[in-house]
Amino acid sequence: MLKFYYSGAPNPTKVALFLEESGLPYEPIPVDTRKGDQHKPDYLAINPNAKVPAIIDGDAVVFDSNAILLYLAEKTGKFLPANNPKARGELLSWLMFVASGVGPYSGQSVHFRNYAPEKMPYAINRYAFEARRHFGILDAHLAKRHFMLGDTYTIVDMDVWGWARLIPNVLGEGAWEHFKNLKRLVDEISARPAAQRAVALKDKHKFKTEMDSEALHAMFPHLKEKVA
Ligand SMILES: N[C@@H](CCC(=O)N[C@@H](CS)C(=O)NCC(=O)O)C(=O)O
């Protein structure tokens, strides 16, 4: 059975959404990133990047949420747009946009707002600005279509949902005010039974919740090594 290495964080949760939507049988395997499980040799052999999610499917090992979504969609033939160059171009463009922009800027915005040991206004503003700009592009795109690629619910919507449902954590309370179209999509997906199961998945395992010194050093290894 497909093994799904996960935590309750945004990137694993979008893969959980696909797995729940598609009905593919899978075994969820917790990786407690606050305890440092992501740095253990057994896990590094699966994902050398020491992050979740990752999957093992037979002899295929796939890491990075965006790669996993594409792999699973191609494997099952589900949640893909029409099979033509125009639709595939759109699919790849928006997947990469989320992978290289929405995810990293949102993650850094949360980091500098909530976890950086010093409050650095420049960094907070830089990442919030870029996260807001990226969400604004998604919002404008969704003003003219129901789903990201038109009329069909695809892996791009799942990819967007992973981070967009956490917009208040990324940009602060009240931020939804600026992204009405994106909110419509997020609310519609969040109401789906598969999304509710994906969000609840983390409750099947006991993950550490405290953000104590062990957790900070596991998730932010640069705290103990000065490289610049
Ligand atoms: N590009 C990767 C990013 C993965 C990532 O940053 N995962 C976070 C959870 S959302 C994680 O593993 N954090 C723990 C850590 O950085 O130690 C993906 O989309 O899968």
Q: Looking at residue 88, what is its pLDDT?
A: 97
Give the pLDDT confidence of 17-69 residue by residue, as tens digits.
999 999 999 999 999 999 999 999 999 999 999 999 999 999 999 999 999 99
Q: Looking at residue 200, what is its pLDDT?
A: 98
Q: In the numeric block, which tokens belong to residue 29?
A: 């395997």
Q: Looking at residue 62, what is its pLDDT?
A: 98
Q: Give dist(CA 27, CA 45) in Å, integer.
A: 18
Nearest CA to ligand 1 atom 13: 51
Q: Give dist(CA 83, CA 85) in Å, integer.
A: 7
Task: Give the residues surrounding ligand 1 with Cβ less than 6 Å away.
Answer: 9-11, 33, 38, 51-53, 64-66, 103, 107, 219
* Spans of the chain below 70 pLDDT: none
CA dihedral 120, 123, 124, 126 (to 10 degrees): 150
